[in-house]
Structure 1
């Protein structure tokens, strides 16, 4: 799964850019998910006095509103973005206003403003593109409406498979924190396979989704499994070991 985020202030053209990206990706046959960050601290989908609100007030931890038109699962509070993304399985997820994920960024701003870029920025778009500038500080300026095919070409070519965001104290085996690693990956100074989490000797999948592990946890799990398996008849060195089970 590949994930990008579109960042910019209100009125800078974020949603218009995202609409163009989603529609073009769909035309090309990709599955697409989206996430919208709501910055209004008082915003909530539930309505006081409604039945779902009453469920929550009674103590329900997770509440679902299910109808013929849609199904909405309501969690209390703001979930960590990687937990939100764990519910997605699309080819691409396009996020609006999400800043706490290690993903490539597209920056939007108004015509009279200067883009606020970061090492993860891959393009400038939104209303700023109306200035007809083709480049800003070495980054392409792409009109998200008139040039959405070009923008999607860039997204497909530059966006890696979703990377983790591991605390550097737990990992940094590659020599970088995850955000710095991605910035270097976007500059083609490293390869995604240089991330030790992608070339470890053990992988963990839950319901088909691979769970990233820092080397410390990976080594513990690997050593515990090998400690048992080595005593079993049929074990050979350098074997490919597969274990599957249903959790209680």
Structure 2
């Protein structure tokens, strides 16, 4: 069974990560277990040349896990991006909610982050009308068919997330 999940989406440079940091902190202070998936459309490498884990992966390991008393990291090669639903079901069974950054084309419910100075248009309303949009966190008043939350009030955003996905 997959955990509940919610995507924060926006155009690059709008402040998704900054808002997510604050919402995660707020939800953690309320006692929730939170998972996060960051979508990266580009290639990334969490290993560093010279480290044993990087050397083992570079040698051809298809799956490499590094573990310490406090955390673990898994590097798993695959031929194509896995569906978000598979990632959630496989890795997040121990959390109350998974927040994702990105995955704007997924079927997950979404909060769009909107900053007036960054863009006059929304991703999920306008040319496209994404039915999975549940709210917009904005720094300007907007007339929409979904709640508009104050981008600069992460506690209000966390209240909405808690009421809608954790109650």
TM class by shorter chain equals 0.7 to 0.9
Corresponding position of 1:16? 18
Which structure dedicates a bigger proportion of its chain to strand? Answer: 2
CA distance in 1, matches of 2:44, 2:143: 35
Corresponding position of 2:145? 138
SS at match of 2:46: coil
SS at match of 1:95: strand
Deviation at 1:139, TM superposition (A): 2.2
Corresponding position of 1:205? none
Corresponding position of 1:30? 32
Aligned residues: 154
Alignment of 1:94-105 (within 5 A): 94-105=99-110
Which structure dedicates a bigger proportion of its chain to helix? Answer: 1
Deviation at 1:115, TM superposition (A): 1.5
Deviation at 1:31, TM superposition (A): 1.1
Q: Which runs of 5+ in 2 are unaligned?
A: 125-129
Larger Rg: 1
Q: 1:75 to 1:8 in 2, by over 3 A?
A: same
Corresponding position of 2:63? 62
Task: Give me the TM-score of the superposition, normalised by structure 2.
Answer: 0.78
Cα RMSD (Å): 2.4
Q: 1:74 to 1:100 in 2, by over 3 A?
A: farther
CA distance in 1, matches of 2:145, 2:58: 52
SS at match of 2:86: helix
Does structure 2 conserve the Cα–Cα contact (< 8 Å) formed by 1:6 and 1:96?
Answer: yes
Task: Give me the TM-score of the superposition, normalised by structure 1.
Answer: 0.55
Q: Confirm whether residue 45 of structure 1 aligns to residue 54 of structure 2.
A: no
CA distance in 2, matches of 1:71, 1:82: 22
Match of 1:91 among 93, 96, 116: 96
Q: 1:7 to 1:24 in 2, by over 3 A?
A: same
